[in-house]
Chains A and B, each alone.
Chain A
């Protein structure tokens, strides 16, 4: 692991505020255990916990906080110039940061989702959910990392995407689901472990291709943006 990666990981874990990420996965596991122990049918609680909480809330919110934090925090307090002035190619800055962001969000989300999937159906569903959410974490992290370079308010813009595009429009206008990372994750997980618990209108090949495109495209965009990056003060 490169030095940039170490610095990023220490910057994430070294602060107390990282602790606010913990309640989300704990709640996910807690609800799954509660439902299982009370013998509620998985077809009743599965969609609410796995999709409603896990894939629609925990995954995007964790990826948003981590993904905008790995580079955004340094840009905000101005210490990014210390990295930018080192004789490093830009991709050697972006890629380690993306790797750390993906690994942290994937670990935070995939483990509880695996447990929840295991309790809901089978080991296979658990593994499928874990793998699909790790892919989703990659796509979300690339998107939010690029956002933190494109705008001064990456968290709010990311919330617009998560709340208004995926949340509000995804419910009322089906067409927007094709361009929703959340739906791709559902499609991929459903393909790896077909059950009645997950369902989406997006086809699997489309989901797989678009996930790859978003991950690669936004990474390239981030590297390109970092090439001519101007450090400015805080927005008013």
Chain B
């Protein structure tokens, strides 16, 4: 047996000695990555098709409404009614974005990698939730901004006209935020249950669509109380009812017959929204307390 001559070469590996960014930065990075993922930014062209299809449709509709208003001076839809009219597209966008955000991580088994970093479990879920809510708010807010700009530049009353228009826009954006939070929390919870994106998308659409006819049936029951509480049954009408109660005339001007016949149950609806969102977030956090390695 010959003499051992092996040596260990120093090929320059070094420990990292730079600054270590804290929890806030991890959260921020995950959040920003989530928002970009929702729109397919930084990904292949195929991943951009569906998000940008939805964005294109809402922007075209907004541009059309603006053009009608500029040409004929007729307000087809207020800012809040725009959010209501786009509800099916919002559902579709959730069905596209939510599985991209959480189901892919489940399927490719990278969650143990995430959680081996100094990242609390809750932060992962909350960052994804925040990203989806932001993406939805941008989806609803951007067309409203287009409508606002169109109205502001064609107003005949100078600055006061612009100011009035801005006062109309702000409740609309607030209402869009309510939409975003409710739909994001429900959609992300459903998507986090399965690693198959296709199945998550189907489940989200099924949950949102199957609740709408329930409202229709409940609102023709032979009892005024049930009729006024019927809008609790579906997320989209629930959001509409809370908007009617909280923002009221700010959303739909008088004389348009807008708003929902919710009677005196406004606070019940507000409590229901808070409970719904809180429940979904709690379940989401519970969901990520323990994740399978594969």
Confirm or deny: A167 has a beta carbon within 8 angstroms of a beta carbon on chain B: yes
Interface pair A61/B217, CB less than 8 Å apart: no
Which chain B residues lie closer than 8 Å to A235 at the CB level?
A: 44, 46-47
**Interface 9-residue window, one of B131-139, B162-170, B195-203:** B195-203
Interface pair B43/A164, CB less than 8 Å apart: no
Which chain A residues lie closer than 8 Å to B213 at the CB level?
A: 31, 48-49, 52-53, 57
Confirm or deny: B206 has a beta carbon within 8 angstroms of a beta carbon on chain A: yes
Interface pair A24/B210, CB less than 8 Å apart: yes
Interface pair A31/B198, CB less than 8 Å apart: no
Contacts across chains A and B counted by CB atoms under 8 Å: 102
**Interchain CA distance A205-B50 in the complex, whole Å:** 35
Within B78-103, which residues are at the interface with A (CB < 8 Å)? 88-89, 91-92, 95-96
Range of interface residues on chain B? Answer: 20 to 34
- Among B47, B88, B198, B220, contact of A163 (Cβ-Cβ < 8 Å): B88
CB proximity of B85 to chain A, nearest CB, Å: 9
Interface pair B88/A164, CB less than 8 Å apart: yes
Confirm or deny: A191 has a beta carbon within 8 angstroms of a beta carbon on chain B: no
- Among A23, A40, A168, A236, contact of B47 (Cβ-Cβ < 8 Å): A236
Confirm or deny: B260 has a beta carbon within 8 angstroms of a beta carbon on chain A: no
Which chain B residues lie closer than 8 Å to A68 at the CB level?
A: 198
Q: Encode contact with A along B205-227: 1 for CB under 8 Å, 0 otherwise.
A: 11001101110110011100000
Interface pair B92/A159, CB less than 8 Å apart: yes
Which chain B residues lie closer than 8 Å to A155 at the CB level?
A: 197-199, 201-202
Residues in chain B within 8 A of chain A (CB atoms): 43-44, 46-47, 50, 53, 57, 88-89, 91-92, 95-96, 194, 196-199, 201-203, 205-206, 209-210, 212-214, 216-217, 220-222
Residues in chain A within 8 A of chain B (CB atoms): 17, 20, 23-24, 27, 31, 34-35, 38-40, 44-45, 48-49, 52-53, 57-58, 61, 64-65, 68-69, 72, 76, 152-156, 159-160, 162-164, 167-168, 235-236
22 A-B pairs (CB sep. < 8 Å): A17-B194, A17-B196, A17-B199, A23-B210, A27-B214, A38-B221, A40-B221, A44-B220, A45-B217, A49-B213, A52-B212, A52-B213, A53-B213, A58-B210, A68-B198, A76-B198, A156-B201, A159-B95, A164-B57, A168-B88, A168-B89, A235-B46
